[in-house]
A and B are shown apart, each in its own frame.
Chain A
Amino acid sequence: MVYRHRLFTSLWIVLVLSVCWGCQKGTRESSRTQSLMDEAMDTTGLLLRYHNNLFSIPSPYEAAYIIRQHDVNFRGELLNDPNRYSRYNTSFKKALNLGIYGTDLGYLNIFNRDKELHSYFKVFKSLAGDLGLRNALAPAELETVKNSFMTGDSAVYYLSSTYRKFDAYLKENNRQKMGALILAGGWIESNYVLSQMVQSSDERQLINRLGEQKYVLENLIELLSSYYYEANRYTELVDALVDIAYEYDGVIYNYYYKKPVVKEEQKLTIIRSTSNVVISEYHIRTISKKLSELRNKIVS
């Protein structure tokens, strides 16, 4: 009897303590999370130091469109060979190369190189499968992307939507770093192609676009810097990008604010502020060389 009474009393104490501890733990954890969030979100500098998804990298297809607009000859040899797929045996390489092949697919579509599309799409699909991204899409969606290559420009639309779904899926499943690597691969490939085109073209707009990557690269480094200590390969990737960013320090970007004009009926604001980029031949060459070295290391 005394034993039973003691058992109930002990059970009571354990329950009370566990409930109290649970409450405190919950409060501690939520206040810690909140304080981390506040600390991260309250930065007032130009770049917000937050490991989530607040840094935007412009679509690699924007560079592809600008190249096409300037009638620069398409150079298929610049794209990654789809036969290299079997070399990519780590998720790190697979994610970077998914970004690279996706960019290449966009280039092929924008430049109407339909013959090569099939083999690139096959690799794109395999890499997405290897990275467990099939669940990001409804079963018929990959087929829609595939079929869209037959109908011209809509393929880039479906491809962009697919990448957006991959990105959302990876973030929702706490795999942000894979999403960051895919974005990095896309940026590296599109700027590798752009820098190679710039070397054989004197089109000012293309040169400017390369120079304007100064701030895009800053965003990309911020996006990847959370994973700097994840593994040596992440460290090496960020270091290589930082090395390119040092070269971009020599690129001058001037900006002048001008009051925007609003066209209410079109739900449109025209941002009339002007900017210009001053980039020397030396910096074009050095940036192109370093981009090329980094990109070739990723695809090898």
Chain B
Amino acid sequence: MNRILPCIMGFALIFASLLMSAGLRAQTGPEKIPADCQSLMGEDYLPDGQDYTARLNKNNAARFHAIFYGGNRYFIAACSNIETYPLIIKVYDSERNLLFDNTKHNHTSYWHLAFTSTVSCVVEIRVEAEQHIDQLVRLMIGFQKPRKAE
């Protein structure tokens, strides 16, 4: 008995440590990147060539700084793997004036923005949750291809 007890406890400990290390790996392991929002974009838009993927901060928000040129029309879309909360998309100008808010449009995941002048903006993607949602969100920006007749 004196021999068996340490053996059992030793194995139990090894098993426990393996479980814990597996748990840690699961927490820090590779994360699934949100689905690409490019499929939402119409053919008359061109992607801007960048991938905007960011982790939500402790306030459950991610901010993307973008410059939109005057005379152009843009397409913005947001994607994530978060199923429990809808994504909130807000666009502010450099003076924090709200230019677009998708909560006023049924939390739509995409929208078109036409700019009469060039504006430096912040696109904010967030979720309204009490706890921190430690997830990635993806923004897509496309600009409308000018028509040849223009």
A280 in the interface (beta carbon within 8 A): no
Contacts of A183 in B (CB 8 A): 49-50
For A258, the closest partner residue in chain B by CB is B116
Cβ of B35 within 8 Å of any chain A Cβ, yes or no, is: no
Interface residues of B in 80-124 (CB under 8 A from A): 93-95, 97, 99-100, 104-105, 108, 110-120
Could you mark each residue 60-73 of chain A with 1 if its beta carbon is under 8 Å from any beta carbon of chain B, else 0? 11100110110000
Whether A153 and B51, one on each chain, are in contact in the complex, defined by CB atoms closer than 8 angstroms, is no
B78 to chain A, nearest CB (A): 14
A160 touches B (CB below 8 Å): yes
0/1 interface trace, chain B 29-54, chain A, CB 8 Å (1 if under): 00001000010000100111111111
Interface segment, A47-55, A116-124, A243-251? A47-55
Partner of B99, one of A26, A46, A61, A269: A269
User: For chain A, which range describes its interface: under 10, 10 to 19, 20 to 34, or 35 or more residues?
Assistant: 35 or more
- Asked whether, in the complex, the Cβ of B116 is within 8 Å of the Cβ of A274, the reply is yes
Report how many residues on chain B are interfacial, defined by Cβ distance under 8 Å. Answer: 69
If A167-B51, A275-B118, A276-B117 touch, whether A54 touches B62 (CB-CB below 8 Å) is yes
Within 8 A of B (CB), among A25-46: 26, 29-30, 34, 37-38, 41-42, 46
Q: Is A144 an interface residue (CB 8 A)?
A: no
Q: How far is the CA of A180 from the CA of B29 in the complex (A)?
A: 25
Q: Considering the chains assembled together, what is the distance between the CA atoms of A214 and B144 in angstroms?
A: 23
Known contacts A37-B57, A54-B62, A161-B38; is-contact A269 B114 (Cβ 8 Å)? yes
Minimum C-beta distance from A178 to chain B (A)? 13
Q: In the docked arrangement, what's the CA distance between A208 and B62, Å?
A: 30
Asked if B113 and A268 make an inter-chain contact with CB atoms under 8 angstroms apart, the answer reads yes
Contact B17 A18 (CB under 8 A): yes
Partner of B150, one of A69, A161, A272: A69
* Residues B49 and A11 in contact, CB atoms below 8 Å apart: no
Cα A186 to Cα B27 with chains together (Å)? 37
> Closest residue of chain B to A153, judged by CB?
B145
CB neighbours (8 Å) of A30 from chain B are 27-28
Please judge, given known A-B contacts A41-B62, A156-B46, A260-B99, whether A53 and B54 are in contact too, CB under 8 Å: yes
Contact B47 A164 (CB under 8 A): yes
Residue numbers in B under 8 Å from A212 (CB-CB): 67, 69, 118
Residues of B near A269 (CB, < 8 A) are: 99-100, 111-114
* A228 at interface by CB-CB < 8 Å: no
Chain B 1-27 near chain A by CB (<8 Å), digits 1 or 0: 011001101100110110011001001
Q: Is there contact, CB below 8 Å, between A15 and B46?
A: no
Residues of B within 8 A of A42 (CB): 57-59
Given contacts A22-B20, A275-B119, contact A267 B9 (CB under 8 A): no
Q: Is A38 a contact partner of B58 (Cβ separation < 8 A)? A: yes
B94, A48: Cβ atoms closer than 8 Å: no
Complex A-B, nearest 3 residue pairs according to Cβ-Cβ distance, in ascending order = A41-B57, A163-B49, A168-B51
Residues of A within 8 A of B (CB): 4-5, 8-9, 11-12, 15-16, 18-19, 22-23, 26, 29-30, 34, 37-38, 41-42, 46-48, 52-62, 65-66, 68-69, 153, 156-157, 160-161, 163-165, 167-168, 171-172, 183, 186, 205, 208-209, 212, 215-216, 219, 255, 257, 260, 262, 264, 266-277
15 inter-chain pairs at a CB distance below 8 angstroms, sorted by A residue, are A12-B10, A41-B57, A41-B61, A46-B94, A53-B50, A56-B67, A157-B145, A160-B46, A160-B47, A161-B47, A165-B51, A208-B70, A257-B95, A268-B112, A269-B112
Supplied contacts A30-B28, A54-B64, 20 more A-B pairs, CB within 8 Å: A4-B3, A5-B2, A5-B6, A11-B10, A12-B6, A12-B13, A19-B17, A22-B17, A37-B57, A38-B57, A53-B51, A56-B66, A58-B67, A59-B47, A157-B43, A219-B67, A260-B100, A264-B105, A268-B111, A271-B117
Residues of B within 8 A of A (CB): 2-3, 6-7, 9-10, 13-14, 16-17, 20-21, 24, 27-28, 33, 38, 43, 46-55, 57-59, 61-73, 93-95, 97, 99-100, 104-105, 108, 110-120, 141, 143, 145-146, 150
